[in-house]
Amino acid sequence: MKILVGVKRVVDYAVKIRVKPDRSGVVTEGVQHSMNPFDEIALEEAVKLKEKKLATEVVAFSLGGPKSAEVLRTALAKGADKAVHVQVTDAEAGKLESFHVAKALQKIVEQEKFDAVFLGKQAIDDDSSQTAPILAGLLEWPQALYASKVEDAGAGHMKVTREIDGGLDTIKVKVPFVLSADLRLNEPRYATLPNIMKAKKKPLKNIPIKDLNVDITPQTETLEVTEPPVRQAGGFVDDVSALVAKLKEKGFVKA
Amino acid sequence: MSTSTTKILKQAMNIISTIRSSYSTATAVSISRHCEDFTGTPPPVNLLTENELFFADTVRKFSKDVVKPLVREMDKYSKMSPIVTQGVFENGLMGVHVPEEYGGSGSSFFNAMIVIEELAKTDPSVSAMVGIHNTLPVSMIIDYGTEEQKLKYLPRLCSDSLASFCISESGAGSDAFALKTIAKRDGDHFLISGTKMWITNSGEAQVFVVFANADPSQKYKGITCFIVERSADGLTVDKEEDKLGIRASSTCQVHFDNVRVHKSAILGEYGKGYKYAIECLNAGRIAIGAQMIGLAQGCFDQTIPYLQQREQFGQRLIDFQGLQHQIAQARTEIEAARLLVYNAARMKEYGIPYVREAAMAKLFASQVATSTSAQCVKWLGGVGFTKEFPAEKFYRDAMIGEIYEGTSNIQLNTIAKLIDNEYKWKN
């Protein structure tokens, strides 16, 4: 099984997000970026499957500006065998949508004959959760979304446990398939220093977006980005009767 | 060629080598330009390559996730957590510049400094363990070991075995070559006897790089270096010292009571131990500098957010100009120290003489670590005086910087001697 793993460069999860003064987006200049945490989990699962001899090759994919090469280097250091960087300008990268990413992934899958595509369940910048299902639709492959466990089911099938609102849903999917990784699927490893050095020798292929014939014209327009409303400070009351009076006053308690 | 011409040429060569050995900045620049064959301007010394940034980022994540939750407990009980020890080995932090064929990361000395700096931002004890292991015993084996010794020890030292560097004794601290440990020849073997003091990593070390005098009649020229296994009969490690700072880093006395080692355990050449020690400790000074800038930066990083939040007299502490100036001064000193350390590390990497730069880096970085951490305690006020905040620990940890691997006065001696040499040829 040859696995393609999508990895996205996003503002680091620990960074406090600031909205641009013109409300056109969030500040990304001079801000720490890293690999999308859910993509790290997807990558870890692919590498684990390779270690278990259930996968033969793991290839990392990123669609983005020049700096997306950083997350691909990280992916190589964490166990990917090769990397593919589909290149766009920084300006174009800021306007990419799930559909564009899915189309680019589809082209790479068809060119390189992959058996599975592993993605994070969502990117922590746009929170769309759309790329995996769109890709499954484009490829006409089964999908296993929000995966928290992946096992070999034999005879060209995989058993996937999914996290759903009602609990856990276990499904059997036929390979080739698309998987999206949830938080509890695994604990991603660190890129060890020897592997960082080895990553320098692994191939990283650059493909300009135009070579894939993927139209990345935006289909949506961001009208405004705003901060969530600031939480109002609470107040103190002296005793229970004062609390009840306050709740009545606010209309939370009927007399 | 006439005798007088030869004599003049020899004198000229002596002058050139003396000037070079005085490590003037001009010489350093010309050599570095020559080394790199620069046609343009050399890049800023603190501009990190993508790979160096990657190393820093990886170690930062490891420190935050693995080390940080254990810092207070390790300090309290003076014990390095096995989780941390295992983690530094598993993540390749114990063989940063060991070639890949011996199980190391195959990286550079500069990257080792980045690892040491990043670890020190979270816990200088862990940084000490990793730094000393990498830059002293491991470096010694890389530089002077036979192929057999490299194959025997380096894979272990990169994967699971900690190493110690045994030179200091009760009567041989700053005066390192006054050591009393002897290695008495016994056929194809040597019998090592003596006691080493203040030995970092010795509590857990499996391999000891030991300096002993194999021929006291030759004074320091009898000093020879040996590789000794912990399992050797007659080798005993005393209890841990109860230290002020870097408490989780183990420091013990190591006793050698007629420890028998084969002559194949000699590291490098017989009687050259003093040379190796000087070389190694010069590089080690850069590592202490890296540890100290990490400590200063880590303490600073964990203090500033409090000053941004804490309000007095209707404004944030960081808005008081008196405090702003102190903060700006401290940050400037940290940056200056970092430039000294990085420059010395880059010089070593390019094969440029770096003794003066190493001494300056170690001297200044340790002073900056002490002053920055002391300032942070004061800026934090009452909370800075408690163990709830990390500043007091950084302050205690900083104290060792001006003591080990050559006290500040020893660094000043070295620098002064080199200045004297430099100006002898300018008048």
CATH number at residue A28: 3.40.50.620
Q: Which amino acid type is present at position B387?
A: K
Contacts of A201 (CB under 8 A, 6+ apart): none
B115-121: average pLDDT: 97
pLDDT of residue B47: 84
d(CA B205, CA B230): 7
Which band of pLDDT confidence, cut at 50, 70 and 90, is reported for residue B389?
A: confident
pLDDT of residue B84: 97
pLDDT of residue B426: 67
d(CA A4, CA A101): 13
B151 and B176 assigned to the same domain: no
Strands B223-229 and A2-6: unpaired
CATH of the domain at B208: 2.40.110.10
Report chain B's mean pLDDT, rounded to a whole number.
89
Instruction: Report residue B206 as tokens.
Output: 């499996």
Distances from the Cα of B94 to the Cα of A10, B51, B126, B210, angstroms: 31, 18, 11, 19
Which band of pLDDT confidence, cut at 50, 70 and 90, is reported for residue B24?
A: very low
Domain count, chain B: 3
d(CA B278, CA B406): 11
Domain membership of residue A40 as a residue range = 2-228
Residue B29 has pLDDT above 60, yes or no: no
Task: Decide if A114 contacts A59 (C-beta within 8 A).
Answer: yes
- Count contacts between A and B (CB, < 8 Å): 48
pLDDT of residue B36: 47
Residue A213 has pLDDT above 90, yes or no: no
Residue A255 lies in a domain: no
pLDDT of residue A186: 94
Residue A246 lies in a domain: no
B218 and B179 assigned to the same domain: yes
Task: Decide if B333 contacts B372 (C-beta within 8 A).
Answer: yes
Which band of pLDDT confidence, cut at 50, 70 and 90, is reported for residue B34?
A: very low
B405 and B283 assigned to the same domain: yes
B188 and B125 assigned to the same domain: no
Contact A197 B100 (CB under 8 A): yes
Contact B54 A191 (CB under 8 A): yes
Contact B105 A191 (CB under 8 A): no
Q: Which amino acid type is present at position A9?
A: R
Which band of pLDDT confidence, cut at 50, 70 and 90, is reported for residue B242?
A: very high
Residue B8 has pLDDT above 70, yes or no: no
A165-184: average pLDDT: 91
Contact B92 A73 (CB under 8 A): no
Length of chain A: 255
Residue A53 lies in a domain: yes
Domain membership of residue B336 as a residue range = 274-424
| Closest residue to A197, CB basis, from B57, B90, B107 | B107
Domain boundary among B238, B273, B308: B273
B155 and B126 assigned to the same domain: yes
pLDDT of residue B2: 55
B172 and B130 assigned to the same domain: no
Residue B7 lies in a domain: no
Residue A35 has pLDDT above 60, yes or no: yes
* Percent of chain B surpassing pLDDT 70: 90
Residue A134 lies in a domain: yes
B337 and B235 assigned to the same domain: no
pLDDT of residue B23: 39
pLDDT of residue B322: 96
B118 and B175 assigned to the same domain: no
Which band of pLDDT confidence, cut at 50, 70 and 90, is reported for residue B26?
A: very low
SS3 (DSSP) at B350: coil
Residue A144 has pLDDT above 50, yes or no: yes
Residue A59 has pLDDT above 60, yes or no: yes
B328-353: average pLDDT: 94
d(CA A67, CA B207): 43
pLDDT of residue A193: 87
Tokens 């430039």 — which residue?
A: B339
B249 and B342 assigned to the same domain: no
Task: Decide if B288 contacts B362 (C-beta within 8 A).
Answer: yes
Which band of pLDDT confidence, cut at 50, 70 and 90, is reported for residue B14?
A: low
Question: How many CA within 13 A on the CB side of residue A196?
Answer: 29
Residue A244 lies in a domain: no
Residue B106 has pLDDT above 60, yes or no: yes
Instruction: Report residue B334 as tokens.
Output: 């940290």
DSSP per-residue letters across B238-249: EEEP--SSSTTS
User: Phi-psi bin for A197: left (phi > 0), alpha (psi -120 to 50), beta?
Assistant: alpha
pLDDT of residue A53: 87
Neighbours of B10 (CB within 10 A): 10
Length of chain B: 427
pLDDT of residue A33: 87
d(CA B195, CA B209): 14
- Which of A12, A197, A198, A202 to probe the B interface (max B CBs under 10 A)? A197
Report chain A's mean pLDDT, rounded to a whole number.
90
Contacts of B52 (CB under 8 A, 6+ apart): B110, B111, B114
d(CA B211, CA B34): 37
Phi, psi of A78 (to 5 degrees): -95, 5
Domain boundary among B222, B257, B273: B273
CATH of the domain at B411: 1.20.140.10
Domain count, chain A: 1
Which band of pLDDT confidence, cut at 50, 70 and 90, is reported for residue B158?
A: very high
Residue B249 lies in a domain: yes
B291 and B419 assigned to the same domain: yes
Strands A167-174 and A157-164: antiparallel
pLDDT of residue B425: 63
Does residue B269 have an active-site annotation? Answer: no
Domain boundary among B273, B308, B324: B273
Distance from CA of B331 to the nearest CA of A (A): 19
Which band of pLDDT confidence, cut at 50, 70 and 90, is reported for residue B32?
A: very low
d(CA A189, CA B87): 11
Q: Is A8 on the interface with B (CB under 8 A)?
A: no
pLDDT of residue A255: 64
B247 and B321 assigned to the same domain: no
- B contacts of A76 (beta carbons < 8 Å): none
pLDDT of residue B198: 85
- A contacts of B95 (beta carbons < 8 Å): 194
Which band of pLDDT confidence, cut at 50, 70 and 90, is reported for residue B79?
A: confident
Residue A205 has pLDDT above 70, yes or no: yes
Give the chain B residue nearest A73 (alpha carbons). Answer: B54
Residue B6 has pLDDT above 60, yes or no: no
Distance from CA of A248 to the nearest CA of B (A): 35
d(CA B307, CA B296): 16
Residue A251 lies in a domain: no
Task: Decide if B50 contacts A70 (C-beta within 8 A).
Answer: yes
Q: Which of these ranges, B76-85, B153-162, B273-282, has the smallest mean pLDDT? A: B273-282
Closest CA to B368 of B387, B386, B341, B393: B341
- B contacts of A197 (beta carbons < 8 Å): 51, 100, 105-107
Following CA atoms B301, B305, B310, B312 in sequence, which dihedral angle do they give, to the nearest 10 degrees? 70
Which band of pLDDT confidence, cut at 50, 70 and 90, is reported for residue B28?
A: very low
Residue A9 lies in a domain: yes
d(CA B164, CA B375): 33
Contact A196 B93 (CB under 8 A): no
- B contacts of A83 (beta carbons < 8 Å): none
* Helical H segments across A52-81, by residue range: 68-77
Judged on CB neighbours under 10 Å (0-12, 13-18, 19+), B232 is: middle
Q: Which residue has the higher pLDDT, A128 or B231?
A: B231
Q: Is A70 on the interface with B (CB under 8 A)?
A: yes
